Amino acid sequence: MTTKKHSLIKKNVSCKNTSVLNKAICVLAENNNNVSGTIEFIQYKNNLKIIYEVYGLSNGKHGFHIHAYGDLTESCSSTCGHFNPHNSQHGGLHSKHRHAGDLGNIISKNEVSKGVMYTKSVSLFHNNLNILGRSIVIHDKEDDLGKGGNDESLVTGNAGKRLACGVIGLRK
């Protein structure tokens, strides 16, 4: 496996204290699926910008979610279900009814997925919507956005097994 250098990770990071903490990062943990990458979060008032850069995914769409816990003791399975503080059914990023952690799909082409998305459903600040310490999970299948016509669709989007995950933490 060749290791990719992620442009979101910068060298010579200063540990000087700053008064504004509006950034977070998730570095995908090493896994047996050879999927690696980084997801950066930048909070702008009530809007959260999510910038992702993922390598090693098969071509196509992959479910992309914020999960309830940042516990990686049992790989991605210990992250539990999607972050869902309002006890809603599963949906997509722009669905009226959805889990707060439902981010839809990312698309991989030539084993690379890069992009930007925005959401108001989660935050780095607001208590009940705060995602710090939670996790990002990338799944092996396309998320059907709750439109799959079965009970599992309303919980997971039938997105399949968990390929990669990482904990969301504060960033300089």
> 5 burial class (0-12, 13-18, 19+ CB within 10 angstroms)?
exposed
Query: Do 123 and 48 touch, CB atoms closer than 8 A?
Result: yes
Residues assigned a catalytic role? 65, 67, 82, 90, 99, 102, 139, 162
Query: Do 83 and 131 touch, CB atoms closer than 8 A?
Result: yes
Per DSSP, 157 falls in state T
Query: Do 168 and 131 touch, CB atoms closer than 8 A?
Result: yes
Quick check: helix, strand or coil at residue 139?
strand
Query: Do 52 and 153 touch, CB atoms closer than 8 A?
Result: no
23-27, strands of its sheet edge to edge: 102-108, 60-67, 135-139, 162-170, 23-27, 36-44, 47-55, 112-119
